[in-house]
Structure 1
Amino acid sequence: MDVVTIGESMAVFSPESSPLMRYAATYSRKFGGAESNVAIGLTRLGHDVGWISKVGNDELGKGLLSFIRGEGVDVSQVKIEHSAPTGLYFKEVRSASNVRVEYYRKGSAASKLTIEDLNEAYIAKAKYIHVTGITPALSESCYETIIHMIKVARENEVKVIFDPNLRKKLWSEERAREVLLEIAAQSDIVMPGVSEGEFMFGETDPEKLGELFLNHGASLVVIKVGAKGAYYFTKEESKLVPGFPVEQVVDPVGAGDGFAAGVISGLLDQLPLTRAVERGNAVGAMATQIPGDFEGLPTREEIEQFMNSSDSEDINR
């Protein structure tokens, strides 16, 4: 197993008849969730990925599970929760820079995750585990589950990748900052955005943030800086890796998950850090071109074509 991730996926409803939910009479239904987005992104790039979660014993849960299984993700560790429903969220894309999300996930099946839902032997077989700051926000038992999963990984020399993925709607800022800093201190690789770094450390300069995260415990820090690309930092080196310009952003949701999948894919392929982060930038850029949380995530052939064509454009300019 290359990567094991854990977290909630939900049914996603988006207005079709009007951009505004208050006027919409018809909606499209898709699925989405940060961790399963990363899992799907990695499987499309040819990697072996497992996803741990819970879904409700309902039609949406069954559809979600079937869909993610169909994308090639191992769902053997996903359990059916009979006492709670599959979570929902509504996504309103008013414009590429104005996306509003409303969650209906309190008391959801995934919020019932506990330490007992973890198979330690399954985690120990992975090269990396991937966790976000979303899952511990869902409930106290989810927080305990994430902390225990990290403990199991470290005991078995499995590297921990952490994307803070701050969701202020899910918990208090004080608790969020406390937990995000706690998890970052126990992670090998941390992938924040500048705004998340500011939330955690009160600093906006990427180079200072890189140093703060390294001193906090990470061995590799990758900081997203939007269209400019991303910085990476280790104790030995640091660099800004430029992003890939796109003519128009169609849907920004899921771009960060695509970025994470691209970087992790590069690390699994043992690429130099510059190339791994470049792959992350490319996947993130491609993810913005198609509506949906994961629909734009590319296959290996598609990402190579995109990166090669971008290289050719750079040469011709």
Structure 2
Amino acid sequence: MSNAPDVLTFGETMVALRGNGPLKLGGSMDVSVAGAESNVAIGLSRLGHAVRWSGAVGDDEAGELVLRTLRAEGVDVGAATRDPSAPTGLLLFEPRLPDVTRVHYYRAGSAGSRLTPDAVDAAFAAGAPRVLHLTGITPALGPSAAEACRRALRLARDHGTQVCLDVNFRSRLWSSDEASAELCGWLPHVDVLIASDDELPLCLPSARTASPEPEKTLLAGGIRELVVKLGSRGATVHTADNTLHSPARQVHAVDAVGAGDAFVAGYLSALLDGADVATRLDRAITTGAFAVASRGDWEGAPTRAELRLLSADPGTVVR
């Protein structure tokens, strides 16, 4: 029996502490884990797909929490590594206003930032995936993590693996110029590019020269599907043949954290199912809505059976 997963992803997953008010006032905190790539992995696993996560954690209790959580969600962590000389990263969420949450990172020198290309080799050796999912966060963590991403792109090419890149730009980790220089070099390997509309310039050649039609420029450069996230305005998919837009589903917004990752999980799930672009976009919009309507990075991710719940009439009791 093949051990090849549907999707391979890797990056830094941290322990997440969520307070109920200003940190300086103390109080209780909820403990969980968070990381863009592992959020996508959990979302895909709940939708019934085989997913492998190949990140690095410290040889500590925080790292055990990360691995235990992912295993409990059905994600394969057999290719993950424990670094005995670096800690697992930490993430603090501080709600300050009803719609404003401050995020504090403690990830400098963390195990996740020291992920090596060898870990990627081991993940592919255990079975080449159908899809490799990367984000623009991982290469910003440090030279070793960036080289691990480049190794993964080469291995994906060698194995005929589709590549999905979610730009996921983080200004605290690197500058827009640094991000553009790195990610533009990836684009010849990328099949599905996912970005918010303000991230598109990072993917354009010629030092991010403004383009009146960035979508056409990227498609002409070899991107098969360009998926543009528009937040509360929904999302648009551009292909060589068509442009398709879908509005966001109307839900009671509770927490927008993790919505982009849930959207990616939905899109890749439908792609793996062989669904058409319209169905991919609809599932992505749906899974993103579940995330917005739930607290936490990944906790609200739906199962396949739950996808239909957003189509139910308000106040419906599902028995």
Would the TM-score normalized by the shorter structure come out above 0.5? yes
Structure 2: gaps of 5 or more residues: none
The offset of 1:133, in angstroms, is 0.3
CA distance in structure 1 between the aligned counterparts of 2:269 and 2:38, rounded to whole angstroms = 15
- Which residue number in structure 2 is paired with residue 87 of structure 1? 89
The offset of 1:4, in angstroms, is 0.4
Q: Paired residue for 2:44, among 17, 42, 57?
A: 42
The offset of 1:209, in angstroms, is 3.0
CA distance in structure 2 between the aligned counterparts of 1:288 and 1:24, rounded to whole angstroms = 27
Q: Paired residue for 1:51, among 50, 53, 56?
A: 53
The 5 Å alignment of 1:12-27 reads 12-16=16-20, 18=21, 20-27=22-29
1:150-174 deviation digits (Å, cap 9, x = unpaired): 1100111100000001011012332
CA contact (8 A) 1:124 1:152 kept: no
Q: Paired residue for 2:280, among 276, 287, 296?
A: 276
Q: Paired residue for 2:265, among 236, 255, 261?
A: 261
In structure 1, give the amino acid aligned to 2:34.
G
Counterpart secondary structure, 2:54? strand
- Which residue number in structure 1 is paired with residue 158 of structure 2? 155
Residue 203 and residue 259 in structure 1: after superposition, are their counterparts in 2 closer, same or farther (change >3 A)?
farther
Residue 266 and residue 2 in structure 1: after superposition, are their counterparts in 2 closer, same or farther (change >3 A)?
same
Q: Paired residue for 2:222, among 217, 226, 232?
A: 217
Number of matched pairs: 307
Q: Paired residue for 2:182, among 176, 179, 182?
A: 179
CA contact (8 A) 1:195 1:204 kept: no
CA distance in structure 1 between the aligned counterparts of 2:209 and 2:75, rounded to whole angstroms = 37
- Which residue number in structure 2 is paired with residue 243 of structure 1? 248
Percent same amino acid among aligned pairs? 36
Structure 1: gaps of 5 or more residues: none
CA distance in structure 2 between the aligned counterparts of 1:270 and 1:204, rounded to whole angstroms = 35
- Which residue number in structure 2 is paired with residue 9 of structure 1? 13
CA distance in structure 1 between the aligned counterparts of 2:260 and 2:246, rounded to whole angstroms = 15
TM-score for both structures, normalised by structure 2: 0.91
Residue 309 and residue 203 in structure 1: after superposition, are their counterparts in 2 closer, same or farther (change >3 A)?
farther
In structure 1, give the amino acid aligned to 2:219.
L
**CA RMSD of the aligned region, Å?**
2.1
CA contact (8 A) 2:164 2:193 kept: yes
Residue 183 and residue 269 in structure 1: after superposition, are their counterparts in 2 closer, same or farther (change >3 A)?
same
Counterpart secondary structure, 2:179? helix
In structure 2, give the amino acid aligned to 1:10.
M
Counterpart secondary structure, 1:84? coil
